[in-house]
Amino acid sequence: MRITNTMITNRMVTTLNGNLTNLDNYYTQMSTSKKIQLPSDDPIIASRALKYRTTVSDTTQYRANVKQASSWIEITESTFRNIDSIYQRMREICVQGSTDTCKDDDRTKLLDEFDSLVEQLEDEMNVTYMGRYIFSGYKTDTPVMIKGEDGINKLNPDVYEKDAGGNYIIDSQKIKIEIGVGTYADINSTANNVYTQDIYDKLHAMRNYVNDDMSQDALMTLQDTIGDSASVIDLRSAMDAMIGKLDEIMADTMVEHTRVGVKINRLELTENRLAEDYTNYKALMSDNEDVNLAEAAMNYNTANAVYNAALKVGMGIAQVSLVDYL
């Protein structure tokens, strides 16, 4: 078959274009640090990249969810620490007031502090996180404690609402945050598990006994809420009886406080795992998408040398024709 100059020239141009394409590909890889620019460059790398990017994005969101959940629970845990301290101080007051050496005037002064501690305790029940009440179940815009017409705090009936069977509706109102694929963590403690009507009645009966100047009616209320007439006959015996009640309250509160601690531990473990997953997925994504710059530079230099050599050879061929021999 006769090879013409046109055929040689066309083949030379095709070869040069191929070399130039390789050179452009390696240059683009070096300038972008990516193996491919379009899915059509390598469908396998593109499909893996989509999967890894989705996984990294999901993991990032789960980590953000864990941080949000941790912040909520840390506020709850801090509130429980305050509540524990308040109850402990209430107990110390009652122990001090129940001794025979403490006079009634001193007991009254101690009860003034007791009264302020009850106020502080009920303020703790209205603690918020980012404007949301942490103990109100789903009704995060509703306070647990509200002021009555007499100016005294009372349990908010909207929060302590019961169903037809007499069960607290708030019991099932668990706020959950997704921290993994199909994995959820409930982050809230509900008001009825922290401050019950029974606790409210006992603490306010003690307050009312002092605020009502230790009247007979107030004493009878104390007898009904703290002990019977045989054990509660005066302020000293009332404070003595309150010690045991506070021990029961503190024990129940500690159970709920412990649940909060368990939630914190779980979130810490989850955060550690997600951090490791994020690092691993980022490494896999980088290995799949990112180019080895040293290898790309070597390939670029090789392609550049081949291209320049092809140019020189092509120029030599293009300058020679049949006319040169006639």
Full 3-state SS string of 198-256:
HHHHHHHHHHHHHHCCCCHHHHHHHHHHCCCCCCCCCHHHHHHHHHHHHHHHHHHHHHH
Reduced to 3 states (helix: H, G, I; strand: E, B; else coil), residue 166 is coil
| Rounded Cα gap, residues 142 and 124, in angstroms | 14
pLDDT band at 287 (very low <50, low <70, confident <90, very high): confident
- The structure tokens listed for 225 are 């809420």
Give the pLDDT mean for 242-261: 93
Give the pLDDT mean for 97-114: 87
Annotation: CATH topology of 52-283: f41 fragment of flagellin, N-terminal domain (1.20.1330)
Give the pLDDT mean for 17-41: 76
Q: Where are the domains of the chain?
A: 52-283
- The structure tokens listed for 309 are 């050599």
Q: Which of 85-99, 127-141, 185-199, 221-235 has the lowest mean pLDDT?
A: 221-235
As a whole number, the mean pLDDT across the chain is 85
pLDDT at 75 over 60: yes
| Rounded Cα gap, residues 72 and 4, in angstroms | 82
Question: Which range has highest mean pLDDT (15-19, 42-46, 61-65, 220-224)?
Answer: 61-65
Question: Which range has highest mean pLDDT (51-55, 75-79, 239-243)?
Answer: 75-79
| Rounded Cα gap, residues 130 and 112, in angstroms | 33
Chain CA centroid to CA 198, Å: 33
pLDDT tens profile 192-226 = 999 999 999 889 888 777 666 666 777 777 777 77
pLDDT tens profile 159-169 = 999 999 889 99
Give the pLDDT mean for 72-88: 96
Angle at CA of residue 122, ends 262 and 237, nearest 5°? 100
Q: Which pLDDT score is estimated for 325?
A: 45
